[in-house]
Amino acid sequence: GQQVMQIPQYQHVQEGEDFTTYCNSSTTLSNIQWYKQRPGGHPVFLIQLVKSGEVKKQKRLTFQFGEAKKNSSLHITATQTTDVGTYFCAGWGGAQKLVFGQGTRLTINP
């Protein structure tokens, strides 16, 4: 079945440093979604990318969807302590199932 791999599993940065997480799918995706889960919380939708090569920005967050629609990345510029959490990518597989990557857990040293 479809698999979505995400790296790195963990990332620790100093506040103010940049952060990037990468997502790769075993199959071509119709779209890709990104979610953020704060410690002790539940996943919350951030953004959806649909078009090949699409780039979207949300303040300090930049999301990219690869040309082949099999990979994606999330880049955070100048991290802040509010960015702490686990970031998940997810792609729709067959039969109404959203397949999640394993997540990248971001911790920040203030």
| Chain residues in the site for other proteins (CB under 8 A) | 31, 33, 35, 41-45, 48, 88, 90, 92, 95-98, 100-103, 105
Cβ proximity to other proteins: between 65 and 88 the closer is: 88
Cβ proximity to other proteins: between 13 and 46 the closer is: 46
Whether 4 and 23 have beta carbons less than 8 Å apart is answered as yes
φ/ψ (deg, to 5) at 12: -115, 130
CA distance 38 to 106: 10
The answer, yes or no, to whether the previous bond of 8 is cis (omega within 30 of 0) is yes
Cβ proximity to other proteins: between 64 and 104 the closer is: 104
Q: In angstroms, what is the minimal distance from the CB of 34 to other proteins? A: 11
